[in-house]
Amino acid sequence: MNAHRRKVVLVKTGILIMCLTLLPLTAKNNAELKELTVGGNLNGLQFVPKVHFAAKSIQQNAGIVRLKGSVEIKLVSYTLLADDAEYNSQTGEIHAHGHVLMKPAPSDPRGSRQFGIK
């Protein structure tokens, strides 16, 4: 029984050391991302929704936001993940390239209850 317990402790210690070794790599990848938020105001008579960007490289020029590397674009109703993307702030169009995934934003059950929706 004592030998079995020692093996379990060694396995758990090995897993812990492996996780701690990989932790700086994960933090480094997240720290390299740049962030930008645009919109959330009226552009003339048209409302421009708030858009949050995160990517390794973000460049803005003449109303175009160019994103490269681990792109994440959060809008009100969905989040778009891609390798690269361009966002046109005048039209609201997004052109995504490479591996692209679009996920619905999580709904807030408190908002539904506030309006009597179950």
- Is 44 inside a domain boundary? yes
Q: What is the pLDDT of residue 67?
A: 94
DSSP string, the chain: -HHHHHHHHHHHHHHHHHHHHHHHHHHHHHHT-EEEEE--EEETTEEE--EEEEESEEEEETTEEEEEEEEEEE-SSEEEEEEEEEEETTT--EEEEEEEEEEEPPP-HHHHHHTT--
Q: Are residues 20 and 54 in the same domain?
A: no
Q: Are residues 106 and 64 in the same domain?
A: yes
Please enumerate in sequence order all residues whose Cβ is within 8 A of that of 97, keeping only pairs 6 or more positions apart, or say none: 82, 83, 84, 85
- Is 13 inside a domain boundary? yes
pTM score above 0.75: no
DSSP string, 95-118: EEEEEEEEEEPPP-HHHHHHTT--
Q: What is the pLDDT of residue 26?
A: 41
Q: Are residues 87 and 49 in the same domain?
A: yes
**Contact of 33 with 54, CB cutoff 8 Å:** yes
- Is 118 inside a domain boundary? no
Q: Note down pLDDT in tens along the chain; length 118 residues.
A: 577 676 666 656 656 555 555 555 444 455 588 887 777 655 555 666 788 999 999 999 988 999 999 999 998 888 999 999 999 888 888 999 999 999 988 766 665 555 555 5
Q: Are residues 72 and 60 in the same domain?
A: yes
Measure the CA–CA gap between 87 and 1, rounded to whole angstroms. Answer: 62
60: domain range?
33-113
Question: What's the domain count of the chain?
Answer: 2
Q: What is the pLDDT of residue 89?
A: 80
Q: Are residues 4 and 53 in the same domain?
A: no
Q: Are residues 43 and 82 in the same domain?
A: yes
